[in-house]
Amino acid sequence: MASDARFTRVSPFVIGVLLRALLLGALAYASAWLVLNTNYYATTLVVLICGGLVVADLGRVVTRADRSVERFLEALSAGALETPSRTAAGLGRLAGPFEDAVALLQTARRQRQQSNEYLQTLLDTVPAALLVIQADGEFALVNRAAVRLAGTAATATLLRVLGPAACAQLVSLAPGTHQILRLAGGAQVLASAAQFMLPGGAPQRLISLQRLAGELDAVELKAWDDMVRVLAHEMMNSLTPIASLSESLEGLLRGGHTEEVSGALEVISRRSQGLMRFVERYRKVAELPQATLQSVRLRDLLQGIEQLLRASYAAAGIEFHTSVVPPDLAARMDPDLIEQALINLLRNAADAVAGQPEPRIEIVCGEEEGQLRLDVLDNGRGLTESEREQIFVPFFTTKPGGSGVGLSLARRIALGHGGRLTVQAREPRGSAFTLLLPAARA
């Protein structure tokens, strides 16, 4: 209502223009009458001069109003949200709407600034250093951790801290992949890459650099604790009876108990061979070959696995299916290692569905956010939460006579490809092992 009231009043600017127009019209009429009806040439000249002055004054007033609006719009373009003076020529009527527009723009600017400050605060709480590699290959610091890593906010300092080798590796790091880098000072960081694109802009990559000291030490210590615990358990199971029997052999020999001595030696031999087999399993885990990447069609890979396991699954009454979406999906991987990982997962699934009604195993392959996803699904007995937490620990097994090597090897193969292997429970029963590998498209 207030805005409507402003526009129902006649502004001084309009009144001034109307008066000048009326005066100009009167002077024009007077000059025409003098020319046609009299010989007062001097008077006619004076009237014409007055008319010219009125025209000039009218142009001056209109021009002043135009310049006021122009200066206001230029100030808006420059980011200066200031309301023009109500006394500016020609703006008496427009000052109110201008004030409303400026108030809205100021509110929008404050909200945008608060949103930017909120997002920056969130980024600054992230312990990992965040960098952006722009389309032209330039680096930009994003959060406080990145500034701390560089020592200053200068990008040139960051490049010196990273070193040429790490910079080259970051530039070539594909979105969705991870890599451990060594900085110029010798420190190690875990680099992860993601890709984003601003509206109307070129794709850019977001890089996170997480220092491994501290976090990695804790994880490594826990891994060593688990490994030592398993090794100690397995070795003590073999060495305890060997030591006990060795101590009793001398007495048995002196007593002439040759049959008992023979039995004891057989036990020692059997347990020694078991210990050697355990050491061989440990060697397999420790000496996993380096992945040799090549382009592989997933349909071909799964068909080869189907041919390998079809007979044994059919004999066990296991229903087995595979699917690849899209059918021509291909990825860069080591086919031998990935095939071995899948075979280990499928053997584990076969053991899980043994004795279950209508046993079924399925491999589902597809893409997920630029990654290759392979799901090995079964409807077996499933795993408890405690078993899922330990299932990838070397030599841990839930099966009588199991080696506890297959799943840990599969996980190491996934990690060797820059991916990961996880397990989840299925409903109503069964397990889902998910193998995620980076850069699905070959």
Summarize pLDDT for 292-328 with one digit per residue, the tens. 889 999 999 998 888 888 888 888 999 999 999 999 9
Residue from 183, 140, 180 nearest 164 by CA: 183
Q: Residue 127: CA atoms inside 13 Å, Cβ hemisphere, count?
A: 8
Domain boundary among 197, 213, 229: 213
Strands 129-133 and 204-211: antiparallel
Summarize pLDDT for 406-426 with one digit per residue, the tens. 788 888 888 888 889 999 999
Residue 249 lies in a domain: yes
Average pLDDT over the chain reads 77
Residue 117 lies in a domain: no
pLDDT of residue 7: 47
pLDDT band at 400 (very low <50, low <70, confident <90, very high): low
Summarize pLDDT for 61-102 with one digit per residue, the tens. 777 767 767 776 666 666 665 555 544 445 555 666 667 776
Residue 442 lies in a domain: no
DSSP H or E segment with residue 321: strand 319-324
Cα 401 from Cα 277, distance rounded (Å): 12
CATH (domain of 373) = 3.30.565.10
Q: Which domain holds residue 367?
A: 294-437
Residue 327 lies in a domain: yes
Cα 360 from Cα 343, distance rounded (Å): 16
Return the biggest CA–CA distance within the chain: 166
Q: Are residues 42 and 152 in the same domain?
A: no
Cα 252 from Cα 262, distance rounded (Å): 10
Summarize pLDDT for 234-283 with one digit per residue, the tens. 566 556 656 666 666 666 666 666 666 666 677 667 667 766 766 666 66
Residue 120 lies in a domain: no
pLDDT of residue 237: 57
Residue 171 lies in a domain: yes
Percent of the chain with pLDDT over 90: 14
**Hey, what are 146's tokens?**
């990145």
Residue from 112, 157, 114, 158 nearest 132 by CA: 158
Q: Are residues 228 and 324 in the same domain?
A: no
Q: Are residues 48 and 67 in the same domain?
A: yes
The 3-state DSSP composition of the chain as helix, strand, coil percent (nearest 5) reads 55, 15, 25
CATH (domain of 188) = 3.30.450.20
Q: Are residues 326 and 421 in the same domain?
A: yes
| Conformational region of residue 218, where left means phi above 0, alpha means psi within -120 to 50, and beta covers everything else | alpha
Cα 209 from Cα 267, distance rounded (Å): 54
Contacting residues for 427 by C-beta, under 8 A, at least 6 apart: none
Q: Are residues 161 and 57 in the same domain?
A: no
Q: Are residues 134 and 105 in the same domain?
A: no
pLDDT of residue 215: 54
Q: Are residues 179 and 234 in the same domain?
A: no
Percent of the chain with pLDDT over 70: 68
Inter-axis angle of helices 335-353 and 406-416, nearest 10: 150
Statement: residue 166 has pLDDT above 90: no
Residue 173 lies in a domain: yes
Q: Are residues 425 and 306 in the same domain?
A: yes
**Count of domains for the chain:** 4
Summarize pLDDT for 48-65 with one digit per residue, the tens. 788 788 788 777 777 776
Q: Are residues 304 and 385 in the same domain?
A: yes
Q: What is the DSSP letter of 196?
A: E
Distances (CA, A) of 185 to 127, 155, 161, 164: 20, 17, 7, 12
Q: Are residues 378 and 308 in the same domain?
A: yes
Domain boundary among 286, 308, 331: 286
pLDDT of residue 336: 87
pLDDT of residue 394: 67
Q: Residue 105: CA atoms inside 13 Å, Cβ hemisphere, count?
A: 15
pLDDT of residue 1: 46
Residue 116 lies in a domain: no
pLDDT of residue 180: 81
Q: Are residues 206 and 220 in the same domain?
A: no
Q: What is the DSSP letter of 228?
A: H
Average pLDDT over residues 12-24: 74
Domain boundary among 190, 213, 236: 213
Tokens 């502004």 belong to which residue? 11
Q: Are residues 299 and 270 in the same domain?
A: no
Cα 147 from Cα 152, distance rounded (Å): 5
Most confident by average pLDDT, 99-103, 138-142, 193-197, 348-352: 348-352
